[in-house]
Amino acid sequence: MPHRNRPQSKKTAQAHQPNDPDAKSQSLELFRAYPEGEALRTNQGVKIADNQNSLRAGTRGPTLLEDFIMREKITHFDHERIPERIVHARGSAAHGYFQVYESQAAITRAHFLQDPSKTTPVYVRFSTVQGPRGSADTVRDVRGFATRFYTEEGNFDLVGNNMPVFFIQDAIKFPDFVHAVKPEAPNEMPTGASAHDTFWDFVSLVPESAHMVIWAMSDRAIPKSLRTMEGFGVHTFRLIDAKGRARFVKWHWRPVLGSYSLLWDEAQKIAGKDPDFHRRDLWEAIERGDYPEYELGVQIVEEADEHKFDFDLLDPTKLIPEELVPVKLIGKMTLNRNPDNFFAETEQVAFHPGHIVPGIDFTNDPLLQGRLFSYTDTQISRLGGPNFHEIPINRPVCPFQNNQRDGMHRQTINVGDASYEPNSVGEGWPKETAPKDGGFESYQERMDGVKIRVRSESFADHFSQATLFYQSMSEPEKAHILAAYSFELGKVKRPEIRERVVNEILVNIDADLAGSVAQALGLPRPKAGAKRRKPTLAASPALSLLNRVKPGIATRKIAMLSAPGGDAATLKQLRDAFAREGASAWLIAPTLEPIDGLVPDATIAGMPSVMFDAVFVVGGEKAAQALVQSGDARHFVNEAFKHLKAIGAVDTGRLLLSAAQLPDHADGVAQGDAADLKRVLAAFIEAAGQHRVWSRAALAETVPA
């Protein structure tokens, strides 16, 4: 039945306080459809006797217009699709809950950040930015990380990305940026990629984008999984405490498993082998009980310290180095349930950075201010009208009453005579709530100035933090950034754009980087860049992904390579050992023929090495010969070696490594006789727990794969 919006007393409204992580699930129960045991009916409830044939004038005659069953079915089908999001069109999501570690009353009055014994339901959507819904997961791109907290004070949406900064400083440039990064107008290419002229033309002419672009050229743009990806609120917000005092805050999400990336060659191959790689990984992890966990962190800056930095807190192209303001972890989010219906939930969820609750407020960030208008406007268009908040996935868990009525797709049936406030005919309800009783009150910030279209001079430094980021990278990460710029700009057709990026952008970030990119593009080495402001820090180790590694193989996916005739006892021993460490072991073979009763999980051709974190080759004379003679098997271990993954082999399984001509005694390759299994297994687990064997990067370049 539709929700009936009746006048409600303040006492009743305050009594609804969902404290368990299933509160949102329970609130959605009314809207779920369970087809088991139910008769097939039309949308009007009429039982359908024949869903196989339309109504005709004779067995071979024309279909009759009076066939209301067919007309309803076809008409609904014709309108099933809604406009996809302009950006962040491709996404995947999950339900879960958030729990604060201890009361944060010292910095905010937000209710969901007070009681560590209570949980708040959440819904999180991860996404790519540039590509349409049908693009691949592992493209080089920014990733969206949007979280809805269904709090008892209303919905709070923390709408962020996996990078802490953005391409532009002012929302008026957002349409220009999106038009430039999207596929080019004449041919609608490329899909899901930024390696094309219009993107690089724009960023070469807009130097404020330099910091974000270098993040996009780093390993941050190709995360290993959504479960091992950081998130950031991007903008500077305010937290307000119970006494009305304000502090600036930057939001952070930290994956408990640590943060990891793909290699570029790996990401490209995965896009072809499994374009749903990230989506599938998230879904399968939740289904098997490996619930993704993220800690919520805050960087707090007192109002008195607003201007103590060499950058402007309101500039969305800047971050606060953690060495200057540490991130304090205040709570943890656990994603423990997959959506029931992708369209009804993931596709229809409507996030908005303007959805805040008492204790949280905005700043004068000019990009944030524009987004506050844009999101509502977009949702009205995309979801068909102003009542998108009544879609089940968007409804708050707390009661909500107001006089905003009617409109397309209205689901609430408002009753009573009063549709205005104040009123006497409805006993005054719904009424305002005083701030002391939980009503939202905007922070009283003093403002003065003249109307003017100009950027603050404090927003003028575009290169210092890009330099800080690059100088904070490890040598492998720097090499990846160089390779990314070279690859992307190598696909730009207009030489003047390539030259402008090198001579006017990169040279102002790092002269060596600019020179190396110029060499890769066949350009002269650029002259020295303009003098830039010297940053407070020479480097920020916290920016390097390699410093985020958390050793261990928990939740990692390991391929056990074998064939008929393989050593089943060793396979079982390995599977048990990996399970004790929390890893997921897959038996991979040339075919699905059982191996002494063990049925392979997938074939070598159907599940290539790029789908796994590490590879272990098991012995058995007959199996070894089959693998040695298989080009796919040789390529499997070669590719794993090239991608710096741990490799193990025992007994005759070592023959495959020899047949693949892998270098002897390479780092991260553990092998030995059958009697050495315990030692080999320990070395393999140690290497796999580091994610990559970076010490063999140069050697890996010599391997054909």
- Rounded CA-CA distance 578/250 in Å is 38
Taking only the tens place, the pLDDT of each residue in 291-342 is 999 999 999 999 999 999 999 999 999 999 999 999 999 999 999 999 999 9
Name the pLDDT band for 126 (thresholds 50, 70, 90).
very high
Query: What pLDDT is stored for residue 536 in this prediction?
Result: 78
Taking only the tens place, the pLDDT of each residue in 194-205 is 999 999 999 999
Mean of pLDDT values over 379-389: 92
Cα–Cα nearest to 465, from 231, 219, 214: 214
Pairing of strands 669-672, 602-603: unpaired
Contact yes or no for 247/301 (Cβ under 8 A): yes
Q: Is there a binding annotation on residue 525?
A: no
- Rounded CA-CA distance 64/73 in Å is 14
Taking only the tens place, the pLDDT of each residue in 466-488 is 999 999 999 999 999 999 999 99
In the set 88, 252, 278, 643, the catalytic residue is 88
Longest Cα–Cα distance of the chain, Å, equals 90
Query: What pLDDT is stored for residue 18 in this prediction?
Result: 42
- Cβ contacts of 511 within 8 Å, gap of 6 or more: 526, 528, 529
Say whether pLDDT at 16 is over 60: no
User: Within its chain, how far is the Cα of 562 from the centroid?
Assistant: 35
Query: What pLDDT is stored for residue 5 in this prediction?
Result: 42
Say whether pLDDT at 621 is over 80: yes
Quote the tokens at residue 20: 């368990």
Say whether pLDDT at 416 is over 90: no
Contact yes or no for 260/223 (Cβ under 8 A): yes
Say whether pLDDT at 75 is over 50: yes
Quote the tokens at residue 4: 């009936």
CATH number, domain 551-700? 3.40.50.880
Name the pLDDT band for 6 (thresholds 50, 70, 90).
very low
- Rounded CA-CA distance 37/90 in Å is 34
- Cβ contacts of 380 within 8 Å, gap of 6 or more: 386, 388
- Rounded CA-CA distance 551/610 in Å is 20
CB atoms within 10 A of CB 454: 6
- Rounded CA-CA distance 274/136 in Å is 8
Say whether pLDDT at 641 is over 80: yes
Which percentage of the chain shows pLDDT scores above 90? Answer: 83
Say whether pLDDT at 516 is over 70: yes
Say whether pLDDT at 1 is over 50: no
- Rounded CA-CA distance 604/593 in Å is 12
Name the pLDDT band for 30 (thresholds 50, 70, 90).
low
Exposed / middle / buried, residue 47 (Cβ in 10 Å: 0-12, 13-18, 19+): exposed
- 465-547 CATH fold: Hemocyanin, N-terminal domain (1.20.1370)
Which of the residue ranges 182-186, 233-237, 526-530, 547-551 would you say has the lowest mean pLDDT?
526-530
Mean of pLDDT values over 228-244: 97
Query: What pLDDT is stored for residue 426 in this prediction?
Result: 86
| 161 counts as catalytic | yes
Q: Is there a binding annotation on residue 291?
A: no
Name the pLDDT band for 33 (thresholds 50, 70, 90).
confident
Residue with tokens 């640590």: 258
Long-range contacts of residues 197-203, Cβ cutoff 8 Å, at least 24 apart:
197/492, 197/493, 197/494, 197/497, 200/488, 200/489, 200/492, 200/497, 200/498, 200/501, 201/494, 201/497, 202/176, 202/177, 203/167, 203/501, 203/505
Please tell me the total number of residues recorded for the chain in this structure: 705
What mean pLDDT is reported for the chain? 93
Taking only the tens place, the pLDDT of each residue in 207-223 is 999 999 999 999 999 99
Quote the tokens at residue 543: 């920016």
- Rounded CA-CA distance 601/624 in Å is 19
Domain boundaries, the chain: 91-394, 465-547, 551-700
- Rounded CA-CA distance 148/142 in Å is 20
Query: What pLDDT is stored for residue 584 in this prediction?
Result: 95
CA distances from residue 423 to 165, 400, 416, 426 in whole angstroms, order as listed: 47, 18, 12, 6
Residue with tokens 């009753």: 415
- Return the CATH number of 91-394, one of 1.10.15.40, 3.30.70.100, 2.40.180.10, 2.60.40.1660: 2.40.180.10
Mean of pLDDT values over 354-361: 96
Mean of pLDDT values over 481-504: 97
Q: Which helix (H) or strand (E) holds 301?
A: strand 293-302
Burial per residue of 191-217, b for 16 or more beta-carbon CB atoms within 10 angstroms, e otherwise: ebbbbbebbbbbbbebbbbbbbbbbbb
Q: Is there a binding annotation on residue 85?
A: yes
Quote the tokens at residue 212: 């974000």
Query: What pLDDT is stored for residue 401 in this prediction?
Result: 85
Residue type, 138: T
Q: Which helix (H) or strand (E) holds 302?
A: strand 293-302
Query: What pLDDT is stored for residue 670 in this prediction?
Result: 97
Query: What pLDDT is stored for residue 459 in this prediction?
Result: 96
Contact yes or no for 104/360 (Cβ under 8 A): no
Phi, psi of 336 (to 5 degrees): -125, 10
Quote the tokens at residue 477: 């990460």
Phi-psi region of 234 (alpha: psi -120 to 50; beta: other; left: phi over 0): left
Using DSSP's 3-state secondary structure scheme, residue 669 falls into: strand
Mean of pLDDT values over 18-34: 67
Query: What pLDDT is stored for residue 373 in this prediction?
Result: 84
Positive or negative: CA dihedral 591, 597, 602, 604:
negative
Query: What pLDDT is stored for residue 212 in this prediction?
Result: 98
Say whether pLDDT at 244 is over 50: yes
Q: Is there a binding annotation on residue 125?
A: yes
Say whether pLDDT at 663 is over 70: yes
| 53 counts as catalytic | no
- Cβ contacts of 201 within 8 Å, gap of 6 or more: 180, 494, 497
Query: What pLDDT is stored for residue 122 in this prediction?
Result: 98
In the set 5, 155, 161, 508, the catalytic residue is 161
